[in-house]
């Protein structure tokens, strides 16, 4: 019996809402799956589609993006801009064959520690079921050039 | 008088009267089926202009060549409806002043070339509106349908095979009127977001980024398709993205010269069904 | 060559119990570029911080990563420690291995592995951090207050009394705003003009306040600390320096039948006029649209009457350019047009009036000298019906929100009426009585208990005229019965709405507004008097419907914000701002549109002969708040955000 597959997940979150929500999950001592690595940005408006591609290049089986609920953005409309961008980028990934199930989006406020923990758990489970993103890792394997900095 | 003759006459008048400094149009190409762009700046040369169903390239990209419009003189250009939409986008994105552009509009249906009425870009809004309502056939509908039917793995495999052909020559970028950046993101190496080698990952990233940058901006003129030396169906991706912005945001690229770029604007009630 | 110090904090048992800190320190010690990797029980303690400082000095560290609690806890602490050790504070980053690792995971091996990833990723980021300096912006110590109602006056006085210069701009001929129109004020029933006019005079005579009445804002440019504002001083046709305010011209003016705006059409005024007797300044203006000379080319009686030669029919509008460091917007509100409610007969029956008109009727300086007389025939009404929420809380016809002041002023109206018409009857239709505020509930109880206002919970469906009476049909929802009242006068508590040009004006100054045209605060709870544009503050009802105490409180709050801004010669800001590479910028200006703070401007780059050779986007560090939306939009990758640069984030991802 092989061990169950543990996905690698990279999350991009805004500092004012979701990052604070993740901190709240911590101070509330909630427990969730340890598969996610968080990268903190000032605002969801700062999250570029390039980040998602680079996360996939680093072997992420799933990518999470999360920020303030509409209307709550610290920067007033960064999340509205982000929402449009994701709508478009999601369709593009889908058309290219990168399953939208591997890139998840959510709104999590600074007060939603519970939602954060549940979100991480459910996404980890979902990606676990999808299995490793083999097609993309094949792309990477075929790529001899190391990641350039 | 044929349209070709009419437009030659008009070009002659504009050039000799000094109303425009140049006419960008089509001339004879390397064989009977091909047309190449010509840049006419003296009235004696107007007979080089050709207008027939073989005139398919979108010439709008030449207008943003550095320095061409900076003397604030007018330039005339032969444009199909896609090209006219491109003028609107270039104006909306501050790449040119629409007042400087004199349009020789035409469209081809079957073998027939017909003139489009108007000189300035604002006068073509009805033509563009009609295309928004009834998009002309692109000839790639069957392939699009086939791809939509595939599951993600098959789609991935399909594009992997297509992109494998890419040699990163950037002809698509060169031919596209919307790729006017002085420095493309792919040429930025601090950091190197896009792998520049033409290996499978680099090709994937490049084509995804280009499609994303054209989302809501592509007028589907097909310059990229024709430029691609390895025949990747590039327009198909852009077409799919155009469908997406139309469906999601009712945005039809190039409707007017004051249209807000779709990704630099938003509505508070934009769809967010995918957000948990 | 990077020499990064990694400091792993056990946080007592908080981190240590779930993350193997020794293993973590060893792993990071092997990471390229890491010069020091140590663990300690409490790095935030004094000895802990001292050890960080010592390590920086001893090893000439080029960057510091503290793997500990959330950066929201101690980022500032450790950045300060770094600065004290001579390291630029922005070369210090926190790896969050407590809130987002040890506290939320149970498996020690997995938690340790995650902590390694988090810390490594942060080391990769820090290697690419840049030394940043706080942004310094010079501050012009002069405030502009827009709007001369109670909020604007209060803000201007507070700022001026602290010794700073203020320019107070009012578009009407006189200071005063809506408060000057009111009769008495709740909950104390002191006369509005008695408390308002001294404030108006004080503002006008204050040596630190420059008063520009009958003036409007033409344009606003610049940014916090450095605004340039152009004000249009509309021509009064009366020389403000020569006029003594004797009022002879007003008495002699033959055009006497002009409906008075100040009296809400219940009174008349002349073509040369001051809005009310206590106007500040007491200098008349000529209403060009109604002046006989301007209409027919003949008259000039005022000019002949004037002994000071103050009247000049050729006077043009003039412009004043101001340099100011802060702007207080106190542009107030208007009452909604009641004709939305055709069934209440406003505009059709003269005795159906709105709350503001009732104020004028009840005011001692009003058109009836404070006697309650109905507009149709001047008779004293014996029965008055008040209809609350005539527009407010009515999404179908009016506005969705509560106008906040109507419950209180309607109770006040009932009291004033009872005090003046001793045997009169009042009926008040209401939805809820919202009387939250100091002395407010007591006040509305007094209206009911002492002054016998009959409150009927329910809505009115129709008002019509019958036998010289206004018939009011409504429903008493507590009794579950329809009610019909024969009234002599009906007073509608109309909704408070934004000024008609509020949205346009918001665009002029570059601030946000809501769907109704009320101005948006930067944060509803924590930054309620700041607009989203740095250096522009909001006071009074332009932000939302407000009563006098709230408007005054908010105005004083804006004054304290302005004074805090003026307390230094230079303004220091976090250097997390966007910068644009003008060489690679394609000038598409999508970022200009996308920026929520209007911080990006279009800029022409010209050659020596002045010819435009390139057009680019230019980011104003004074206005940029550092969200990074523009960075993501920029296709040519020309814009970057300090502190969260493309290189840093790329490295963070690649470090995972």
Q: What are the residue boundaries of the structural domains of chain B, listed by start? A: 3-133, 141-264
Which phi and psi (to 5°) does residue B233 adopt?
-75, 70
Q: What percent of chain A has pLDDT above 90?
A: 79
Give the C-alpha separation, B34 to B46, whole Å.
Answer: 19
Q: Scanning the structure block, which residue is given the tokens 């290189």? A: C647
- pLDDT computed for residue A146 by the predictor: 52
Q: Is the dihedral of CA C357, C362, C366, C372 positive or negative?
A: positive
- pLDDT computed for residue B7 by the predictor: 95
Substitution target from B70, B182, B208, B209 for chain C, most C beta carbons within 10 A: B182
Give the C-alpha separation, C198 to C204, whole Å.
Answer: 10
- For C5, the token pair is 């110090």
Chains in contact with B, counting 3 or more C-beta pairs less than 8 Å apart as contact? A, C
B138 burial class (0-12, 13-18, 19+ CB within 10 angstroms)? middle
For residues C430 and C456, is the Cβ–Cβ distance under 8 A? yes
pLDDT digits (tens, 9 = 90+) for A57-67: 999 999 999 99
Taking the Cβ of residue A111 and every Cβ of chain B, the question of whether any pair is shorter than 8 Å is answered with no
Taking the Cβ of residue A75 and every Cβ of chain B, the question of whether any pair is shorter than 8 Å is answered with no
Cα–Cα–Cα angle for B268, B271, B273, nearest 5°?
Answer: 130
Substitution target from B70, B181, B187 for chain C, most C beta carbons within 10 A: B181
Taking the Cβ of residue A1 and every Cβ of chain C, the question of whether any pair is shorter than 8 Å is answered with no
For residues B181 and B189, is the Cβ–Cβ distance under 8 A? no
Give the C-alpha separation, A73 to A46, whole Å.
Answer: 12
- pLDDT computed for residue A125 by the predictor: 95
B109 burial class (0-12, 13-18, 19+ CB within 10 angstroms)? exposed
Which phi and psi (to 5°) does residue C529 adopt?
-110, 5
Max CA pair span of chain A:
52
How close does chain A come to B227, measured CA to CA in Å? Answer: 21
3-state SS class at C57 = helix
ipTM: 0.94
Looking at the DSSP bridge assignments, the partners of residue C531 are C521
- For C163, the token pair is 């010794």
Residues of C in contact with A10 (CB under 8 A): 653, 656
Tell me whether residues C103 and A27 touch, CB distance under 8 A.
Answer: yes
User: In chain B, positions 179-218, which contact chain A (CB-CB < 8 Å)?
Assistant: 185, 189, 191-195, 197, 199-202, 204-205, 207-209, 211-212, 215-216
- pLDDT computed for residue C514 by the predictor: 85
- pLDDT computed for residue A1 by the predictor: 46
- Measured CA distances, C389 to B33, C186, C342 (Å): 75, 18, 15
Tell me whether residues B160 and A95 touch, CB distance under 8 A.
Answer: no
State chain A's mean pLDDT as an integer: 91
- pLDDT computed for residue A2 by the predictor: 60
Give the C-alpha separation, B230 to B198, whole Å.
Answer: 13
- For C301, the token pair is 């009686």
For residues A53 and A17, is the Cβ–Cβ distance under 8 A? no
- For C33, the token pair is 């570029």
Substitution target from B72, B73, B185 for chain C, most C beta carbons within 10 A: B185
- For C439, the token pair is 């002395």
For residues B145 and B117, is the Cβ–Cβ distance under 8 A? no
Domains and CATH numbers, chain C: 4-127 (3.40.50), 143-217+323-332+509-566 (3.50.50.60), 248-305 (no CATH), 335-497 (3.50.50.60), 578-654 (3.30.70.3270)
- For C283, the token pair is 């200098």
- pLDDT computed for residue B198 by the predictor: 85
Whose CA is closest to B119, among B10, B40, B9, B46? B10
- For A20, the token pair is 């604070």
How close does chain A come to B240, measured CA to CA in Å? Answer: 8
Chains in contact with A, counting 3 or more C-beta pairs less than 8 Å apart as contact? B, C
Give the C-alpha separation, C562 to C555, whole Å.
Answer: 11
- Measured CA distances, C275 to A44, B55, C176 (Å): 51, 71, 10
pLDDT greater than 50 at residue A149: no
Task: Give the architecture (CATH level 2) of A9-134.
Answer: 3-Layer(aba) Sandwich (3.40)
Whose CA is closest to C406, among C494, C297, C291? C494
For residue A105, give the H/E element and its range: strand A103-107
- Measured CA distances, C200 to C175, C206, C232 (Å): 6, 10, 22
Taking the Cβ of residue A9 and every Cβ of chain C, the question of whether any pair is shorter than 8 Å is answered with no
How close does chain A come to B191, measured CA to CA in Å? Answer: 6
Q: Quick count: other Cβ atoms within 10 Å of Cβ C160? A: 22
Tell me whether residues A87 and B159 touch, CB distance under 8 A.
Answer: no
For residue C79, give the H/E element and its range: helix C71-84
**Average pLDDT for runs of 10 along chain C of length 656:** 94 94 96 95 95 96 96 93 96 96 95 96 96 91 97 98 97 96 94 93 97 96 90 96 94 94 94 94 95 94 94 95 97 89 91 96 93 94 96 92 96 96 95 95 96 95 94 96 96 95 89 88 86 91 96 98 94 91 93 90 89 89 90 95 95 93
3-state SS class at C64 = strand
Q: Quick count: other Cβ atoms within 10 Å of Cβ C26? A: 13
CA dihedral B135, B137, B142, B148 (to 10 degrees): -20
Counting as low any pLDDT under 70, the low residues of chain B are none
């Amino acid at each position: 019996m092989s061990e169950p597959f543990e996905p690698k997940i990279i999350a991009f979150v805004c500092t004012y809402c979701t990052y604070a929500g993740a901190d709240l999950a911590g101070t509330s001592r909630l427990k969730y799956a340890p598969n996610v690595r968080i990268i903190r940005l000032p605002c969801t408006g700062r999250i570029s589609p390039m980040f998602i591609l680079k996360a996939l290049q680093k072997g992420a089986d799933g990518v999470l993006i999360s920020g303030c609920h509409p209307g709550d953005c610290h920067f007033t409309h960064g999340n509205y801009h982000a929402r449009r961008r994701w709508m478009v980028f999601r369709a593009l990934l889908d058309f290219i064959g990168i399953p939208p199930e591997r890139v998840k989006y959510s709104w999590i406020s600074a007060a939603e520690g519970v939602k954060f923990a549940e979100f991480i758990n459910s996404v980890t489970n979902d990606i676990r079921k999808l299995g490793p993103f083999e097609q993309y890792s094949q792309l990477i394997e075929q790529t001899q050039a190391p990641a350039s900095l | 008088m044929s349209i070709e003759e009419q437009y030659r006459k008009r070009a002659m008048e504009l050039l000799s009267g000094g109303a425009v400094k140049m006419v960008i149009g089509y001339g004879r190409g390397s064989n009977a089926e091909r047309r190449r762009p010509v840049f006419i700046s003296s009235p004696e040369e107007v007979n080089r202009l050709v207008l027939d169903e073989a005139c398919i390239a979108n010439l709008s990209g030449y207008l943003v060549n550095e320095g061409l419009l900076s003397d604030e003189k007018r330039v005339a250009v032969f444009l199909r409806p896609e090209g006219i939409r491109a003028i609107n986008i270039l104006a909306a994105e501050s790449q040119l002043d629409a007042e400087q552009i004199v349009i020789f509009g035409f469209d081809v249906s079957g073998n027939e070339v017909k003139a489009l009425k108007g000189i300035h870009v604002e006068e073509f809004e009805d033509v563009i509106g009609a295309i928004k309502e009834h998009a002309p056939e692109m000839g790639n509908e069957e392939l699009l349908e086939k791809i939509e039917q595939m599951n993600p793995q098959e789609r991935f495999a399909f594009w992997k095979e297509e992109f494998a052909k890419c040699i990163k020559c950037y002809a698509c970028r060169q031919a596209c009127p919307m790729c006017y950046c002085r420095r493309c993101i792919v040429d930025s190496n601090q950091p190197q977001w896009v792998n520049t080698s033409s290996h499978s990952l680099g090709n994937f990233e490049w084509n995804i980024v280009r499609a994303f940058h054209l989302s809501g901006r592509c007028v589907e003129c097909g310059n990229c398709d024709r430029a691609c030396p390895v025949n990747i169906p590039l327009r198909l991706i852009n077409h799919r993205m155009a469908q997406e912005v139309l469906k999601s945001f009712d945005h039809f690229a190039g409707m007017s010269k004051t249209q807000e770029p779709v990704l630099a604007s938003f509505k508070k009630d934009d769809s967010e069904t995918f957000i948990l | 060559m990077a020499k990064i110090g990694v400091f792993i904090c056990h946080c007592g048992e908080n981190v240590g119990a779930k993350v193997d800190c020794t293993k973590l320190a060893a792993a990071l010690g092997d990471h390229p570029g890491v010069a020091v990797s140590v663990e300690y029980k409490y790095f935030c303690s004094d000895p802990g911080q001292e050890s960080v400082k010592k390590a920086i000095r001893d090893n000439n560290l080029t960057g510091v990563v503290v793997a500990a609690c959330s950066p929201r806890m101690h980022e500032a602490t450790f950045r300060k420690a770094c600065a004290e050790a001579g390291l630029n504070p922005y070369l210090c980053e926190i790896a969050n291995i407590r809130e987002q690792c040890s506290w939320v995971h149970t498996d020690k091996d997995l938690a340790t592995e995650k902590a390694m990833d988090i810390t490594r990723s942060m080391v990769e980021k820090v290697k690419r951090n840049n030394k940043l300096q706080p942004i310094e912006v010079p501050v012009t110590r002069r405030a502009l207050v827009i709007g001369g109602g109670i909020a604007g006056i209060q803000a201007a006085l507070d700022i001026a009394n602290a010794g700073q210069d203020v320019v107070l701009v009012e578009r009407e001929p006189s200071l005063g705003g809506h408060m000057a129109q009111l009769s008495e004020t709740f909950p104390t029933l002191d006369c509005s003009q008695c408390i308002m006019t001294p404030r108006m005079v004080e503002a006008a005579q204050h040596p630190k306040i420059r008063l520009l009445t009958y003036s409007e804002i033409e344009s606003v440019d610049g940014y916090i600390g450095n605004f340039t504002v152009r004000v249009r001083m509309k021509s009064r046709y009366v020389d403000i320096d020569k006029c003594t305010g004797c009022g002879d011209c007003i008495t002699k003016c033959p055009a006497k039948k002009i409906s008075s705006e100040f009296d809400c059409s219940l009174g008349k005024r002349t073509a040369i006029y001051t809005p009310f007797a206590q106007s500040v300044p007491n200098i008349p203006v000529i209403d060009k649209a109604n002046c006989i000379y301007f209409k027919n080319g003949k008259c000039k009686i005022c000019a002949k009457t004037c002994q000071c030669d103050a009247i000049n029919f050729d006077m043009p509008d003039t412009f004043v350019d101001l340099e100011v460091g802060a702007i207080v917007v106190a542009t107030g509100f208007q009452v909604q047009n009641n004709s939305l409610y055709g069934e209440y007969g406003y505009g059709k029956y003269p005795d159906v009036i709105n709350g503001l008109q009732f104020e004028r009727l009840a005011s001692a300086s009003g058109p009836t000298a404070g006697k309650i007389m109905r507009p149709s025939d001047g008779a004293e009404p014996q029965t008055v019906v008040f209809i609350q929420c005539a527009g407010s809380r009515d999404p179908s016809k009016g506005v969705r929100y509560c106008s906040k002041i109507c419950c209180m002023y309607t109770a006040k109206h009932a009291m004033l009426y009872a005090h003046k018409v001793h045997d009169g009857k009042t009926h008040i239709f209401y939805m809820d009585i919202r009387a939250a505020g100091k002395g407010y509930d007591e006040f509305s109880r007094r209206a009911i208990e002492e002054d016998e206002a009959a409150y009927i919970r329910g809505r009115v469906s129709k008002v019509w005229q019958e036998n010289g009476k206004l018939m009011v049909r409504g429903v008493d929802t507590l009794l579950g019965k329809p009610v019909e009242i024969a009234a002599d006068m009906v007073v509608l508590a109309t909704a408070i709405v934004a000024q008609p040009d509020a949205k346009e004006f918001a665009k002029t100054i570059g601030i946000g507004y809501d769907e109704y045209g009320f101005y948006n605060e930067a944060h509803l709870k924590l930054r309620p008097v700041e607009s989203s544009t740095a250096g522009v503050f909001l006071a009074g009802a332009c932000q939302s419907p407000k009563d006098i105490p709230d408007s005054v409180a908010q105005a004083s709050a804006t004054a304290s914000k302005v004074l805090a801004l003026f307390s230094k010669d230079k303004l220091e800001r976090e250097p997390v701002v966007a910068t644009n590479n003008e060489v690679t910028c394609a000038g598409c200006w999508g970022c200009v549109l996308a920026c929520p703070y209007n911080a990006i401007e279009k800029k022409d780059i010209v050659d020596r002969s002045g010819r435009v050779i390139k057009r680019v986007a230019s980011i104003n560090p004074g206005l940029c708040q550092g969200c990074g939306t523009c960075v993501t939009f920029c296709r040519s990758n020309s814009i970057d955000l300090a502190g969260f640069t493309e290189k840093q984030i790329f490295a963070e991802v690649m470090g995972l």
